[in-house]
Amino acid sequence: MQTENYLIRKPSLEKLFNDLIGGGKTIYAPKAKGDLALFSDVKTYSDITEDYIVTANSAKLVVFPRTEKLFSYHKSKEKTEITDAAGSTFPDVVLWGTRPCDAAAFIPLTDTFNGDYKDIIFNNRRERVFLISFSCSRSDEYCFCTSVNSGPGNTSGSDILFTKLSGGDYLAEVITPKGQLLVSENSDLFETKSEEDKEQQLAVVATRFNQVEIQAKLQNLFENPVWDDKSRACLGCGSCAYVCPVCSCFDIQDEAHGNKGTRLRCWDSCGFGLFTLHTSGHNPRETQGARWRQRILHKFLYVPNKSKIAGCVGCGRCSRSCPADINILDTLTSL
Amino acid sequence: MSNQNIYIPYLMRIEKITLEAPGVKTFRLKFENEEDAETFSFKAGQFGEYSIMGVGESTFCIASSPTRKGYIECTFRQAGKVTSALALAEEGDVVGFRGPYGNTFPLDAWKGKSLLFIAGGIALPPMRCVIWNALDTRENFKDITIVYGAKSVDDLVYKDELAEWRSRPDVKLVTTVDPGGETPDWKGEIGFVPMVLEKTAPSSENTIAIVCGPPIMIKFTFPVLEKLGFTEENIYTTLENRMKCGFGKCGRCNVGEVYVCKDGPVFSYEQLKLLPAEY
Amino acid sequence: MSELIKKAAALLESKSVQVVIGYGKGTGNRTRTIFATQVTECENLIFDSRCVQNLAVYLTKLEIKKLGKPAIVAPVPVLRSILQLAVENQITESDLVILGITSESELIDFESFAAIETFLTTHKIEIEEKYTKTIDAIKAMPVAERFAYWVKELESCFKCYACRGACPLCYCTRCTVDDNQPQWISVASHPLGNLEWHIMRAMHLAGRCTDCEACYNACPMGIPIHLLTKSMLQDVADNFGSYGPSLDKQNTLSSFKPDDKESFIR
Amino acid sequence: MTEFEPKIIAFVCNWCTYAGADLTGTSRIKYAQNVKIIRFPCTGRIDFMLLLKSFGEGADGIIVSGCHPNDCHYTSGNFHARRRWIMFRGLLDMLGIDVRRIQYSWVSAAEGFKWADIVNSTVNTIRELGPYTEYEKVAGYLEKEANQ
């Protein structure tokens, strides 16, 4: 649909928030914790922080929680019964305060969980998520959204995108029919606005590389010293994958209590040595360098070769959170 | 299918357990639900996720032939957490099964050709499915040769079936055990599979070679096959990367641009050469 | 730190070591570990107050060991870890060169692990007052409130194991949390799994932790897990006299005294 | 509502407390039946993870018991165990896991009466403390919550 522009006054934001809470929505919004901002289940408007470039954790947790039930079972001597978790009630979630990069991440994420095999648990969650994003007025040296076809005011993935204007009010770009519905339900809060003066409010994020060129280079870079060089300091943890809004590798685990139990899905990371380890002891990706290579190739070669878009939205979370300061931009720009 | 939770397994009752070799068992599984038995179908080369509730899932091929209806069989070695739990299961117990997943051996395209099967150790099960499928439709193929080796006589799986194949005039079976693994009355070959293969020297003319075994065996078998005149597109294998989901989402069997679970597990040597060596 | 650069370069030049592990410039105001194998790379070595990552973690990493004999830039927290690794027989004197740095940023040579121990007697681990205060405040909570506090803090843990990865003393090739026969701790991250993981992590560091705070610094979610290890350090001191690595003493939990005192066993 | 019956797991050493508990039985000393005994070769062998697992699986209280100091069948297993318990208890206390729910004791093979007393008093303590609902809430998270 055609994007429609509205104006929303600053005080109306809180009203909108309260209306959504009153309407039974679960709202995930950035909440301050020490120096960090974390997407958290927020009930009170004043708990939301505006002081963040991006949150430390990613918004994927609302559609792809770190741990979720696939089904539960009950075993008896005669019978095994299975209760499908896809049949449970999923919450109506509003993501409040996602950045354009966070919103853009929902596109590759949704791709992964669909295709030939559709993951209805994921889709059930996704359908119930409403994205109210806020454009970026600040960026830092980790940001590179503009290098992966996004930008500080990019609308893709969001239902509504707010941009703070110089006067303190917000431009509301309504992107989807879902967004339009919200506006019509709260028409008293939204004023019609036609002219768009958004660009000058946005952060400047320099283009750091050309994604198509990177993709072409990676085609023949499997055997290259760069992988070991750039990952030498890697501590083999999974923080890059777990804060990444696109990373979606997972593990399937059972947890039992007596004759009852759950089969669940939980996050996993290609950075872990155990990720690919065979029971025989053979490991196709033996070294941390091979694992770092997989991470880069998957995001910038394998995914774009299949679906045109990169498996990365340039939010920079992985680099920010890396305890060893391994920087994805540094690797990409040194190829 | 699109409205169903793809992680929900079929419930299968263990009808029969066969001890094949030390630590190696074959389960014959029947669907608990009659309807599932009727709608279920698979093709040679496909695999599934077998599970014990409360312990987890484990990946192995369907070892029975699609021509044998009403049940599936799997053969596994007790090694990790799930296979250890499976090994403790008894006849009559219920296990979970998700599948079939993955691509298949292109048996239709192989009509009119000779087949050469080369397997090592616990890798005979994925091959057994194709072997029986070919034998049950014997008229479609010319010569069928099987070269199978294991560490020791004890470690050879499907001993009854090996005897049956040996007695059939329309199958040529060569069995071998690693040096030191023979028994006093062992009548087969002694030596590693690639060497025995070289010695057997089957003809490559109009023949498809299907290889399955541990990475080290595969590594030494390909050059022998090439020496025998097999071209890359006529050599097939099935990969066994670590898997969890079975349908290209969980990420761990990713090799280059393919997911072994979804785009494989069956690959020709020609396709394999295009992949990075991460298997 | 031109002296450091000179020294490192000389070590590589003379082939006394094959790699120098030190701090270099990182993203923005951060530092990043340098693994200098060429004399020219030594120019990138820096040392200042931002250099807080505990480099001792690399001494036991397989990928780094492959590079050959290392020299390691070692400010006080790193020295403590090195000594603890020595106590646990994970490193030997002849296998590394230590480029020690005092708290006054002076270079200092150590000929032996014993020399490190002597040096550290004047640089004892001290738990800062802000931490003792926080720990006291937590301990003063009623038990249920304290439990709720920790369950909430640990709730945001998603088990990336950065705390484990950054810890110089978490060098096990297979961690208990990765064991699945039996599955001691849930692979999945949820309140129970997180609680059990952090208890296990803290317990396995009991009497070994040298209070470098690498775990806390590594945590992407800012969970104050260092309070657990700090509280255990206090427990070591209260119950067994002193803490900190010592070459002629075994780890607290690898040793005992017949007259160890407690008040809770009936 | 039926009265709360504490579920208690006892981890005991084979050589002293297990024999002591046996003696309690053969001496026909009556004691609370809330305890499930798990026998170990030595207290030194009792991993702290087992205690956590007990709470995770629904125990309301735990008894850990072995040979008196200097009586260890393996010379020093209980001395090592004692140090571990000191550290473990401190950590649990810091975390707000109620240390009153874990009773440590030394019970020799000759102390049938003491075993009965330990069990009875532990059952009473736990009865007063009530079921360990705080821990149960954490452990039963997956069963209750479908989401996250």
Query: C62 CA to chain B: closest CA distance, Å?
Result: 20
| Residue ranges of domains in chain D, CATH in brackets | 8-134 (3.40.50.960)
Number of folded domains in chain A?
A: 1
Selecting from D90, D98, D106 the residue whose C-beta is nearest the C-beta of C235 gives: D90
- d(CA C62, CA C67) in angstroms, rounded, equals 9
Task: Give the mean model confidence (pLDDT) for residues D60-71.
Answer: 96
How many inter-chain contacts (A to B, CB under 8 Å) are there?
124
Residue A264 contacts D, CB cutoff 8 Å: yes
Residue C233 has pLDDT above 50, yes or no: yes
The DSSP string of chain B is -TTS-TTPPEEEEEEEEEEEETTEEEEEEEESSHHHHHH----TT-EEEEEETTTEEEEEE--S-TTS-S-EEEEEE--SHHHHHHHH--TT-EEEEEEEES----TTTTTTSEEEEEEEGGGHHHHHHHHHHHHHTGGG-S-EEEEEEESSGGG-S-HHHHHHHHH-TT-EEEEEE-TT---TT--SEES-HHHHHHHH----TTEEEEEES-HHHHHHHHHHHHHTT--GGGEEEE-----SSSSS-S-TTEETTEEHHHH-SEEEHHHHTTS-S--
What's residue C209's pLDDT?
Answer: 96
Q: Which chain B residues touch C183 with a CB distance below 8 Å? A: 81
Residue B261 has pLDDT above 60, yes or no: yes
Interchain proximity D105–C256, CB inside 8 Å: no
- Strands C31-36 and C19-25: what pairing? antiparallel
The residues near A316 (Cβ < 8 Å, ≥ 6 apart) are A54, A140, A142, A143, A144, A328, A329
Interchain proximity A330–C162, CB inside 8 Å: no
User: Is 0.90 surpassed by the pTM of this model?
Assistant: yes
Q: What are phi and psi of C132, to 5 degrees?
A: -60, -35
How many inter-chain contacts (A to D, CB under 8 Å) are there?
26
Cα separations in angstroms, B189 against A143, B179, C64, D147: 64, 9, 46, 58
Tell me the pLDDT of chain B averaged across its residues.
93
Would you say C110 and C218 are in contact if contact means Cβ atoms under 8 Å apart?
no
What's residue D74's pLDDT?
Answer: 95
Peptide bond into B100 cis (omega under 30): yes
Burial class for A187, CB neighbours closer than 10 Å (0-12, 13-18, 19+): exposed
Residue of C nearest to D83 (CA): C253
Residue of A nearest to D57 (CA): A257
Q: What are phi and psi of B119, to 5 degrees?
A: -135, 150
Residue A142 contacts C, CB cutoff 8 Å: yes
Q: Which domain holds residue A44?
A: 4-63+71-333
Residue B13 contacts A, CB cutoff 8 Å: no
Closest CA to B14 of B76, B67, B79, B80: B76
Residue B1 has pLDDT above 60, yes or no: no
Tens digit of pLDDT for each residue in B126-169?
A: 999 999 999 999 999 999 999 999 999 999 999 999 999 999 99
Burial class for C152, CB neighbours closer than 10 Å (0-12, 13-18, 19+): exposed
Between positions 37 and 96 of B, the ones with CB within 8 A of C are: 80-81, 84
Selecting from C156, C188, C218 the residue whose C-beta is nearest the C-beta of A323 gives: C218
Chains that contact D by 3+ CB pairs under 8 Å? A, C
Q: Which chain A residues touch B213 with a CB distance below 8 Å? A: none
The confidence band for B268, taking pLDDT boundaries of 50, 70 and 90, is very high
| Residue ranges of domains in chain B, CATH in brackets | 10-101 (2.40.30.10), 114-238 (3.40.50.80)
Q: Which chain D residues touch A91 with a CB distance below 8 Å? A: 147
Q: What is the ipTM of this complex?
A: 0.93
The residues near A202 (Cβ < 8 Å, ≥ 6 apart) are A135, A136, A137, A151, A152, A153, A163
The confidence band for D6, taking pLDDT boundaries of 50, 70 and 90, is very high
The confidence band for D144, taking pLDDT boundaries of 50, 70 and 90, is low
| Cβ-count burial A133-163 (b if 16+ within 10 Å, e if not) | bbbbeebebbbbbbbbbbbbbbbbbbbbbbb
What's residue D141's pLDDT?
Answer: 73
Residue B186 has pLDDT above 70, yes or no: yes
The confidence band for D142, taking pLDDT boundaries of 50, 70 and 90, is low
Interchain proximity D91–C138, CB inside 8 Å: no
Burial class for B170, CB neighbours closer than 10 Å (0-12, 13-18, 19+): exposed
Residue C180 contacts B, CB cutoff 8 Å: yes
The residues near C263 (Cβ < 8 Å, ≥ 6 apart) are none
Joined together, the tokens standing for residue B167 give: 């007695």
Q: What are phi and psi of A108, to 5 degrees?
A: -60, -30
The confidence band for D146, taking pLDDT boundaries of 50, 70 and 90, is very low
Interchain proximity A67–D148, CB inside 8 Å: yes
Interchain proximity D148–A262, CB inside 8 Å: no
What's residue A193's pLDDT?
Answer: 77
Task: Give the mean model confidence (pLDDT) for residues B226-233.
Answer: 94
Q: Which chain B residues touch A118 with a CB distance below 8 Å? A: 2, 6
Residue A154 contacts D, CB cutoff 8 Å: no
Residue D25 contacts C, CB cutoff 8 Å: no
The confidence band for B215, taking pLDDT boundaries of 50, 70 and 90, is confident
- d(CA D9, CA D54) in angstroms, rounded, equals 7
What's residue D1's pLDDT?
Answer: 56
| Count, residues in chain C | 266
- Strands A129-134 and A160-164: what pairing? parallel
Interchain proximity A242–C158, CB inside 8 Å: yes
The confidence band for D131, taking pLDDT boundaries of 50, 70 and 90, is very high
Tens digit of pLDDT for each residue in C23-67?
A: 999 999 999 999 999 999 999 999 999 999 999 999 999 999 999
What's residue D109's pLDDT?
Answer: 96
Burial class for B5, CB neighbours closer than 10 Å (0-12, 13-18, 19+): middle
Residue C1 has pLDDT above 90, yes or no: no
What's residue C208's pLDDT?
Answer: 95
Interchain proximity B80–C180, CB inside 8 Å: yes
Q: Which residues of chain A have pLDDT under 50?
A: none
Between positions 135 and 174 of C, the ones with CB within 8 A of D are: 135, 138-139, 141, 143-151
What's residue D145's pLDDT?
Answer: 55
